[in-house]
Amino acid sequence: MTFTPQDIISLNQARAKLTELCDEVQTTGREKLITKNGSSCAALINPNRLDYYHRLEREHIHLGLLEEAIKGLANVKAGKTLSFAQLTSRHDR
C-alpha cells in the first residue's frame, strides 16, 4: 500500500486527533504513517490487516522451513550426509 500525503501524520497531530484517525482507519482501511522529527516512527492500521500481515509472515517462515527440509531430503537421497562424529568435529564439540 502506498501512502498519500494525507496518510502521513506528525506525532503531534496524531496525539491531537487520535480518535478521528482511528475512526478513519477503521472505516476506510487506509493506514496512517506517524512521523517524529520527520522520520517514520509508527503506523496506525486496522487490526484485521495487522493480523493478516502476521499470518503472512508466519506462512513465509513455514515455506522457508519446508524448502530447507526438501533440500535436506535431497541431500540424504544423494548420499550427502555426515556421521555424528564428523558433525561434532566440524563444530568443535
Measured distance CA(41)–CA(50) in Å, rounded: 16
- Scored b (16 or more CB within 10 A) or e, 55-70 reads eeeeeeeeeeeeeeee
pLDDT given for residue 48 in this prediction = 93
Q: Which three cell numbers stand for residue 81?
A: 550426509
Domain boundaries, the chain: 5-45, 48-90
Reading the chain (93 residues) residue by residue, the pLDDT tens digits are 678 899 999 999 999 999 999 999 999 989 999 999 999 999 999 999 999 999 999 999 999 999 999 999 999 999 999 889 988 988 876
Q: What is the CATH number of domain 5-45?
A: 3.40.1620.10
pLDDT given for residue 2 in this prediction = 79
pLDDT given for residue 57 in this prediction = 96
Q: How far is the first Cα of the chain from the last one, in angstroms, to the nearest whole number?
A: 48
pLDDT given for residue 1 in this prediction = 65
Q: What is the CA radius of gyration of the chain?
A: 24
pLDDT given for residue 93 in this prediction = 63
Q: What is the pTM of this model?
A: 0.65
Task: Read off the DSSP letter of residue 45.
Answer: -
